[in-house]
A and B are shown apart, each in its own frame.
Chain A
Amino acid sequence: LLQIRMRTLDWNRTVYIGHKEPPPGAEAYIPQRFPDNRIVSSKYTFWNFVPKNLFEQFRRIANFYFLIIFLVQLIIDTPTSPITSGLPLFFVITVTAIKQGYEDWLRHKADNSINQCPVHIIQHGKVVRKQSRKLRVGDVVRVKEDETFPCDLILLSSSRDDGTCFVTTASLDGESSHKTYYAVQDTKAFNTEEEVDTLHATIECEQPQPDLYKFVGRINIYLDRDEPIARPLGSENLLLRGATLKNTECIYAVAIYTGMETKMALNYQSKSQKRSAVEKSMNAYLIVYLCILISKALINTVLKYVWQADPNRDEPWYNEKTETERQRHILIRAFTDFLAFMVLFNYIIPVSMYVTVEMQKFLGSYFITWDDEMFDEELGEGALVNTSDLNEELGQVEYVFTDKTGTLTENNMEFIECCVDGHVYVPHAICNGQIMPGAASMDMIDSSPGPGGRELFFRALCLCHTVQVKEEETVDGIKRGIHQGKATSVYISSSPDEVALVEGMKRLGFTYLRLKDSHMEIQNRDDEIERFELLEVLNFDSVRRRMSVIVKSSTGEYYLFCKGADSAVFPRVISGKVEQVRARVEHNAVEGLRTLCVAYKKLSPAEYEEVCHQLSSAKLALQDREKKLAEAYDSIERDFILLGATAVEDRLQDKAADTIESLHKAGMKVWVLTGDKMETAAATCYASKLFRRNTQILELTTKRTEEQNLHDVLFDLSRTVLRQHGSMTRETLSGLSNEYHDYGLIIDGATLSAVLKPSQEGSGGNYKEIFLEICRNCSAVLCCRMAPLQKAQIVKLIKASKEHPITLAIGDGANDVSMILEAHVGIGIMGKEGRQAARNSDYAIPKFKHLKKMLLVHGHYYYIRISELVQYFFYKNVCFIFPQFLYQFFCGFSQQPLYDTAYLTLYNISFTSLPILLYSLMEQHINMDILKRDPSLYRDIAKNSLLRWPIFIYWTFLGVFDAVVFFFGAFFLFDNTTFTSNGQMFGNWTFGTLVFTVLVFTVTLKLALDTHYWTWINHFVIWGSLLFYIIFSLLWGGIIWPFLNYQRMYYVFMQMLSSGPAWLSIILLVVVSLLPDVVKKVLCRALWPTTTERIQVSPPWPLPQAFSWA
């Protein structure tokens, strides 16, 4: 066994238990350095916070841009004071820094409490208390019940006789069920500190890696001077940091990964960031605005020098230059002028937009978590938001990929029947619609079969599983009461099918009692207890799709029982009533039942030895253990004798069909990706209305490709689909589109991989295209027999197709994680198969039906809100800056700012910031009940429709128009006249203030016009911010500010308000600016109304507490 030892230290580590060196000669002692057990989740220390945080913040392109502008302002002689861009930047940076600093402080606190938590270490046979952070690799640790493991440990011994311990990993992956871990065989007897201290062993294991469920290692125990005993270690021996010991008094274990090398800490990295389509549009707009900014600056610079060609303009007698200015090279002068113009116009890129967008997303996501309709009583949980970056993406979904089991269905299994040798048995359990668990009789449909096969079948099901029996009912998760007179026990398993089967067997008279000392005890129908020694468990995996156990009966016979999917079992069967069973399985599958086949084989002692050898060598391998195990399993699990099949029902989730129907109506394509077999999956699809009666089903399955080659099948299908498509468009034109039929496609895993396989003769790429073409024309697609990775592959394929649709994946199990991570939006269901999916998702919901509200209501709202937010932000900054651009033509291109510094600074951060933030949190253009009732409204916003270029250009032009109105309105008003009755003249600051006042009012009222949902908060914020502007201006102009070296705004605002024409022109200009938008809206609404607008006009019922303009 030692030949396979790897000596390279870079991929494995050697741990000396209790820091005892191995006996000399056994191996060279190479000390390895491991980190201590300190957990550092904080990003900053007290000293590096400021520089590191600043560095991180300025890595963001927007912040960097503003920093550059700020620096330019500091360096060159600029039109605006550096405060105008420095203050907002400082504000944004400070707010972010405070937030991050606070979060980091919390992390420091949490780290400290974790790192100082006491742990108990065995040293020289005594228990020593230490701080957790001082724990080192190789220390032997004692953990008591309900304590959490301080680092990753290898279980040496447990207070339970069988050397097992129970652990809940709720805090790691959210699975609250108890998992069993096993002590090393040779050490499980150690029960006291002294005994443990005598252990002399080393552990070799792989370097730390983040996969929670993978671990390979080996322990070498030196009993005496002989060759050490080597035992394999797997993930069943590894207790993870963060998990909690349950139902076990105390354990001894040795630390192998500590501190930041524990699996929990390695999982600490956040997953890759997903970016929403809106964010992409936003960045595209930003680039456009950057171009506008640069071209504005360029135009003005060029014009300035053209205009200045006349020396009297360049330097009139009243405004001479200094000598140094005259000496300066023209290129330098032009460049500084360019920079100065950039600075003057830089506000066109709104510094506050990022902050506002982030706040909107962050605060907005609370509405999802708060939603009472998405709260599930049973689970006691509502929706969870794991990332708020994708809120609006929920309104853009085009493809929904859903898992079947646990997502569409309850994953609440009920044993329905079994079929043994073609005879069908149903537990006589359903009586007056009530399940009578105690009924130990069964209803035989057929005449009595030979007892041999039947008895063996029942025993097989009683033995071939990984169900645990819990004595008391303290556990969450899957539990079924066994009301067997005495103690209440529950069956616990990670697979609900197994529980259903074992319970079904119980109803048929065979009760699985417990696993004791490696013996499984069964109570048979005659109330006798049969004991089988459990020798090996060949665990289930989703690739093999089966599991096996090897047991030794009390009579000394070796049996291998296997159960698994029919496709995984039938090819390995050599005898048995295959045809009858297959027929029954297919029948059940069509009914929508989950079927499993059971088979067995007898092993001779010699065969068993061989099997044992194969397994142990595979298990001991440090390299490619998975592969070797799979090979071993493959060679062991063959030549079966078929026993029969079982059928388990998995009910559809509440309102699953309704949800799917709504998603369809909303224009989404729903794909079901499942590992189940085709017939079962198809039945579920029909039940959930994914396929309807009139849906024409296209099959792309192995069965079909066996008859025809793949190429022909694909072309056939695409022809069918496209012909229909062609005729359909004609029908649509002639208005007869009512009865077109939709297509449903069924494809299985094997065919899919054939389709996706890179071509041999260069035609493979074509296949992909044809396949996509077919899919595009199908309203529903069912992919069955999918491996987890294939699910992700499909999502990826659709994502990469030429329309780049937005995809959403929803699932509840670990096998859905890959697709959840792959899709644009990943939604996890807090299901029965643990919380892995929920943990890796972007959003988690308790039930599939909640998807409807999530997408149709929340998604829709967020999309509407954020698109308005983005468009409005650009609009209001065009309005803001364009007058300043126009002013340059009238001030000799001298970069004279139109507005006062305070206005420049505060426009974005206070005068116009809150209304849009509130709008983007509160807006409801349509009542949410209507959104839910009429899913087709979702189509109105499909394909990022509110952020398309024409709309963006419309907003920009509206901004330019408004700016022109503001500027020239004021310009003509100021044209050589006075507008006070005392004949005094106003200066340039009054001019700017007039423009600015019109600007603030127009921009705020424009938002008010767009607001369809006026709560008191909206009223408060919109009118409040206008009032704030007025009060601020009065204050700003009403006091001689001692810290300013100019008093140019003194009384400017009051003077302006004292003039009648100023009031009149403000009103006029505001109205003129808003007019075209109102007219456009009204006309568009009349001529080309969207569905949304049609609905908006006629509220279907009088809404309580809502007023309408009747």
Chain B
Amino acid sequence: MAASCWPASGFYREKKRNCSARTAIFDGGMMKNKEGEVANRPDNTAFTQQRLPAWQPMLSAGIVIPGFLVIGLVFIGIGVALFLGSQSIQVLESDYTGLNSNTPCYECSDASKKNCTCSIEFTLTKQFDGPVFLYYGLSNFFQNHRKYGVSRDYYQLSGDTAYFKNPSDSCSPYIYDSGVPIVPCGAAANSMFNDSFRLYQLVGGTKKPVPLDGKGISWWTDYNIVFRNPPLVNGSLAAAFNGTAKPVNWAKPAYELDTSDPSNNGFMNEDFLVWMRRAALPDFRKLYRRITQGDYAAGLPVGNYSLEISYNYPVIGFGGRKKIVLSNVSWMGGKNMFLGVAYLVIGSLCIVMSLVMLIVYAKYKFPEGDS
């Protein structure tokens, strides 16, 4: 009884160790019991004896040299495929900022001009295979700036009207327009790209419009799940926006972004969604339209074209550039030589390295157990 009162070894030794809880447990086991027989022989298992069966690979020449060779060949194969795939993609790119006086949009680049339009003429000497995508590109535009990025209110954008009255502070300084809350608030929405484009094929002196398809240019999840319009009030989207102001830079409020198509209006406007997905880098492209309809579903045939631009978006102030890009895609997306070239380079490097290693091994005769 007295002995049980005094877990003596526990008390005293505990302090001598750093991890006392464990000593208390383990010392108890370590003590010999009265008969002097061994109470605590450690478990003799493969795990406790650190003798678990194991695979013991070595980075030896026997495996590395053939490995490199194989990787090299595979990479070169992929590289060639990517390179050729990328080569086959057609891209037509045009800067329409209008900095030089001989460029078509020079006149429009003056910020004081309102509702300016300009047009770029171009000739296709080769069929432009469809589907053709129309992108606009901005450079030196920091959509990835931290302040810019957080300057939006997700609750507003998910149609929560509670936040129409009190937008998130992160939107500042684009929260209130003379006291009225801005919806959608924030720098990101406020700076929405507002140039618009129309493409015509010039057929015998007449302009034949090329139908541009604005459906499905934004992420499916953005359009269907993340962004929601506020519930209609009396069947009217505009009424739902009552008591709010449009973003200061916008020409018209959100509920008038596309009056022709109610499913493309308000926060569900695909141009808006495309804009709201922040670009990763300061030079970026965003998808504007697809050419998938009518005579042009298979691509743009040979001929002359005119691209009419309604020029609204000022970029010269911050040293930016605007461009318009026509491109088609392959299975691996748009034109990007990088991936193919990188694969080719790394693949050849692997082969070179395997040769170097072979020479080194041959020369230094490192005792190889397996070669």
Q: B residues within 8 A CB of A1082? A: 59-61, 64, 357
**CB of B208 within 8 Å of the partner chain:** no
CB-based contact B173/A321 at 8 Å? yes
Q: B residues within 8 A CB of A11? A: none
CB-based contact A1085/B225 at 8 Å? no
Contact flags A359-373 to B (C-beta < 8 A → 1, else 0): 000100011011111
CB-based contact B226/A269 at 8 Å? no
CB-based contact A172/B12 at 8 Å? yes
CB-based contact B333/A977 at 8 Å? yes
CB-based contact B173/A322 at 8 Å? yes
CB-based contact A1086/B61 at 8 Å? yes
Q: B residues within 8 A CB of A861? A: 50
CB-based contact A1108/B370 at 8 Å? yes
Q: Identify which of B3-11, B96-104, B112-120 touches chain A.
A: B3-11
Shortest CB-to-CB span from A168 to chain B, Å, is: 10
Cα(A673)–Cα(B52), bound, Å: 40
Partner of B333, one of A320, A979, A1087, A1103: A979
Knowing A316-B317, A319-B145, A896-B145, say if A110 contacts B10 (CB, 8 Å).
yes
**CB of B147 within 8 Å of the partner chain:** yes
Partner of A1061, one of B21, B174, B333: B333
Q: B residues within 8 A CB of A892? A: 142, 144-145, 282
Cα(A718)–Cα(B197), bound, Å: 93
CB-based contact B168/A1106 at 8 Å? no
Partner of A985, one of B38, B40, B56, B286: B286
Q: B residues within 8 A CB of A974? A: 280-281
**CB of A614 within 8 Å of the partner chain:** no
**CB of B165 within 8 Å of the partner chain:** no
CB closest chain-B residue, reference A857: B50
Cα(A978)–Cα(B343), bound, Å: 18
Partner of B58, one of A313, A319, A981, A1108: A1108
Shortest CB-to-CB span from A124 to chain B, Å, is: 24
Partner of A387, one of B18, B168, B218, B278: B18
**CB of A318 within 8 Å of the partner chain:** yes
CB-based contact B339/A890 at 8 Å? no
Q: A residues within 8 A CB of B48? A: 366-367, 370-372
CB-based contact B7/A113 at 8 Å? yes
Shortest CB-to-CB span from B335 to chain A, Å, is: 6
**CB of B293 within 8 Å of the partner chain:** no
**CB of B14 within 8 Å of the partner chain:** yes
CB-based contact B280/A983 at 8 Å? no
Cα(A374)–Cα(B19), bound, Å: 22
Cα(A1070)–Cα(B187), bound, Å: 37
> Which chain A residues (900-927) contact chain B, with CB distance < 8 Å?
922, 924, 927
> Which chain A residues (108-128) contact chain B, with CB distance < 8 Å?
110, 113-114, 117-118
Q: Choose among A113, A988, A1105 the residue with the greatest number of B CB atoms under 10 Å from its CB.
A: A988
Q: Identify which of B24-32, B238-246, B250-258, B294-302 touches chain A.
A: B24-32
Q: B residues within 8 A CB of A1098? A: 367, 369
CB-based contact A894/B142 at 8 Å? yes
Cα(A1096)–Cα(B369), bound, Å: 9
CB closest chain-A residue, reference B336: A977
Q: A residues within 8 A CB of B225? A: 1040, 1050
CB closest chain-A residue, reference B134: A983
> Which chain A residues (1035-1087) contact chain B, with CB distance < 8 Å?
1040, 1045-1047, 1050-1051, 1055, 1059-1061, 1064-1065, 1068, 1071-1072, 1075, 1078-1079, 1081-1083, 1085-1087
**CB of A971 within 8 Å of the partner chain:** yes
**CB of A972 within 8 Å of the partner chain:** yes
Partner of B280, one of A107, A922, A928, A990: A990
Shortest CB-to-CB span from B15 to chain A, Å, is: 5
CB closest chain-B residue, reference A1063: B332
CB-based contact A318/B141 at 8 Å? yes
Q: A residues within 8 A CB of B355? A: none
CB-based contact B339/A1068 at 8 Å? yes
CB-based contact A323/B5 at 8 Å? no
Q: Identify which of B121-129, B148-156, B261-269, B303-311 touches chain A.
A: B148-156
CB-based contact B333/A1086 at 8 Å? no
**CB of A803 within 8 Å of the partner chain:** no
> Which chain B residues (28-58) contact chain A, with CB distance < 8 Å?
30, 32, 36-44, 48-58
**CB of A380 within 8 Å of the partner chain:** yes
CB-based contact B329/A983 at 8 Å? yes
Shortest CB-to-CB span from B246 to chain A, Å, is: 16
**CB of A940 within 8 Å of the partner chain:** no
Partner of A103, one of B2, B20, B174: B20
Knowing A318-B190, A388-B18, A389-B18, say if A984 contacts B217 (CB, 8 Å).
yes
CB-based contact A1106/B54 at 8 Å? yes
Knowing A380-B37, A1087-B360, say if A106 contacts B19 (CB, 8 Å).
no
CB-based contact A1015/B18 at 8 Å? no
CB closest chain-B residue, reference A841: B16
Q: A residues within 8 A CB of B12? A: 171-172, 242, 264, 267-268
**CB of A973 within 8 Å of the partner chain:** yes
**CB of A1099 within 8 Å of the partner chain:** yes
Q: Identify which of A433-441, A552-560, A955-963, A1006-1014 touches chain B.
A: A1006-1014
Shortest CB-to-CB span from A690 to chain B, Å, is: 30
**CB of B283 within 8 Å of the partner chain:** yes
Knowing A148-B6, A318-B190, A1040-B225, say if A983 contacts B20 (CB, 8 Å).
no
**CB of A312 within 8 Å of the partner chain:** yes
Partner of B42, one of A372, A1015, A1075, A1106: A372
Q: A residues within 8 A CB of B158? A: 1047
CB closest chain-B residue, reference A385: B17
CB-based contact B41/A375 at 8 Å? yes
**CB of A758 within 8 Å of the partner chain:** no
Q: Choose among A172, A317, A985, A1094 the residue with the greatest number of B CB atoms under 10 Å from its CB.
A: A985
CB-based contact B219/A1051 at 8 Å? yes
CB-based contact B332/A476 at 8 Å? no
CB-based contact A318/B217 at 8 Å? no
CB-based contact A106/B21 at 8 Å? yes
Partner of A977, one of B143, B144, B335: B335
Cα(A600)–Cα(B124), bound, Å: 125
Q: B residues within 8 A CB of A1109? A: 57-58, 60, 62-63, 370
CB-based contact B56/A1108 at 8 Å? yes
Cα(A735)–Cα(B367), bound, Å: 21
Q: A residues within 8 A CB of B151? A: 319
CB closest chain-A residue, reference B288: A983
CB closest chain-B residue, reference A1079: B353
Contact flags B167-187 to A (C-beta < 8 A → 1, else 0): 010001110000000000001
CB closest chain-B residue, reference A980: B333
CB-based contact B5/A975 at 8 Å? no
CB closest chain-A residue, reference B328: A983
**CB of B78 within 8 Å of the partner chain:** yes
CB-based contact A1015/B53 at 8 Å? yes
Q: B residues within 8 A CB of A1064? A: 78, 82, 332, 339, 343
CB-based contact B59/A1085 at 8 Å? yes
CB-based contact A987/B38 at 8 Å? no
Partner of A1013, one of B39, B49, B56, B191: B56
CB-based contact B16/A380 at 8 Å? no
Contact flags B65-83 to A (C-beta < 8 A → 1, else 0): 0000001000100100010
Q: B residues within 8 A CB of A979? A: 332-334, 336
CB-based contact B145/A371 at 8 Å? no
CB-based contact B32/A1099 at 8 Å? no
Q: A residues within 8 A CB of B2? A: 117, 144, 146-148
5 smallest beta-carbon distances between A and B, as pairs = A171-B8, A318-B191, A979-B333, A991-B280, A117-B5
Q: A113-B7, A1046-B154 are in contact. List 16 more A-B contacts (CB 8 A).
A: A106-B24, A171-B6, A244-B8, A310-B319, A316-B141, A320-B173, A372-B48, A375-B42, A380-B40, A896-B145, A987-B279, A1014-B54, A1060-B333, A1064-B339, A1071-B75, A1107-B56
**10 pairs from A and B in contact (CB 8 Å cutoff):** A106-B20, A244-B3, A267-B12, A318-B141, A322-B172, A892-B145, A978-B334, A985-B277, A988-B143, A1082-B357
